[in-house]
Amino acid sequence: MRVTSKGQVTIPVHIRRRLGLEHDSDVEFVIDGGQVILRRATGSTRGADLVAQMRGRADVPMSTDEIMALTRGN
């Protein structure tokens, strides 16, 4: 298997099926001595990562109830 100029490889279908990897699945690489291990990512998801990045960034001095009333209208 060759690595492309962008550092990409194709994961064979039998490995994707065995690991339950589908389109847009998150994987991680672990270096163990002289080997690289590919595994399904555990822990946080992209959505959780995005929420974590956004947490605490709002600078509107409104309560949740005030924001809900504003967005829902009368």
Could you tell me the domains of the chain? 1-56 (2.10.260)
pLDDT digit string, tens, across residues 48-68: 778 888 888 878 788 889 988
Q: How far apart are CA 45 and CA 64, in angstroms?
A: 25
Q: pTM for the complete prediction?
A: 0.50
More confident residue, 44 or 30: 30
Query: Parallel, antiparallel, or unpaired: how do β-strands 35-40 and 27-32 relate?
Result: antiparallel
Q: In Å, how far from its chain's centre is CA 37?
A: 18
Tokens describing residue 29: 């690489």
CB 38 within 8 A of CB 29: yes
φ, ψ (nearest 5 deg) of residue 12: -55, 145
